[in-house]
Amino acid sequence: MQQEQKPFFSPLPNNLQINESEYVKAEICITMADAIARTTNNSVYIIDYNRKNFLYVSSNPLFLCGRTTKEVKEKGYGFYFEVVPPEEIHKLMEINEAGFRFYYEQPSEKRLALTIEYDFHICTSQRHKHLIHHKLTPILLSDKGDIWLALCTVSLSPNKDSGEVLVSDNTCTDRYVYSFKGKRWRKQPEIILSEREKEILQLSVKGLSNVEIGESLYIDANTVKFHKKKLFEKLHAENITEAVGIAAYLRLI
């Protein structure tokens, strides 16, 4: 099993040379992750790329697949081999390696700003499996700029099957999608919202209906619906709540 896990850490160096005294910082990260876990429905865990294990695992049952947090922590990446369908394991390894290679192409000052997200299945039992949405972002780097600790969040995916693999730069609106066929990353076209679309999103945050938004902007409610439809297409959102969340995440409003 240990041999099989190696691709999950490629192309990271085998030894990050993290001094044990540095783990005081890790304890602070664990405390923060636990606080986050108590305020969200998402599962939260921390990967330690120095010790090559899970430093923290929240008690949310979505990610645990019937196991205890202690069992998942002890298994580390071996946990994936137990709960991810065999046909998706190699895809997961490819995502991991492609993500690291993208990361190493970036200047060290940008590396903490990157987040990678993707969907894959986990088996909660022999007959049931869930499609989860997985996000990973670095929280601590080694002195050489390698990822030491990464925070991961897991939620149920709204999609029907595994979809795009995306890397976002949280300092700007840049997003990159991975091509399994071409084995490369390509930058997505920049999403540009019109002033009217931004106004509708901002008024939607206040909980206004289409009629109320129309009255505020002196336009018909059907025109509001038209603009919302365009917003959903641009942001790949299913509803206005999701559109607002995506727009805020991408710093578009």
Domain ranges within the chain, ordered by starting residue: 2-187, 195-249
Q: What is the pLDDT of residue 173?
A: 79
CATH number of 2-187: 3.30.450.20
Q: Are 149 and 139 in contact (CB under 8 A)?
A: yes
pLDDT-above-90 percentage for the chain: 70
d(CA 135, CA 90): 18
The pLDDT of residue 2 is 46
Helices 221-235 & 240-249 angle (0-180, nearest 10):
50
Closest CA to 141 of 33, 48, 35: 48
Task: Return the closest-CA partner of residue 203 out of 173, 236, 174, 231.
Answer: 231
- Cα 163 to chain centroid distance, Å, stands at 13
pLDDT for residue 125: 78
Structure tokens at 251: 């710093």
Average confidence (pLDDT) over 155-159: 86
The pTM score is: 0.82
Residue 149 in this model has a pLDDT that exceeds 50: yes
**Arithmetic mean of pLDDT over the chain:** 90
Q: Which CATH class is domain 195-249?
A: mainly alpha
Residue 10 has pLDDT above 80, yes or no: no
Task: Find the farthest-apart pair of alpha carbons in the chain and give their distance in angstroms, rounded.
Answer: 65
Q: For residues 151 and 30, give the distance between their C-alpha atoms in angstroms, rounded to a whole number.
A: 10
Average pLDDT over residues 96-122: 93
Instruction: Identify the pLDDT of residue 166.
Output: 92
Query: Would the pLDDT of 219 be above 90?
Result: yes
What is the pLDDT averaged over residues 174-189?
92
pLDDT band per the 50, 70, 90 thresholds, residue 133: very high
Is the confidence at residue 3, as pLDDT, over 60?
no
- What is residue 14's predicted lDDT score, i.e. its pLDDT? 80
Gap between the Cα atoms of 51 and 53, Å rounded: 6
Rounded Cα distance, 88 and 94, in Å: 10
Least confident of 36-45, 60-69, 124-133, 138-147: 124-133
Q: Is the pLDDT of residue 7 over 80?
A: no
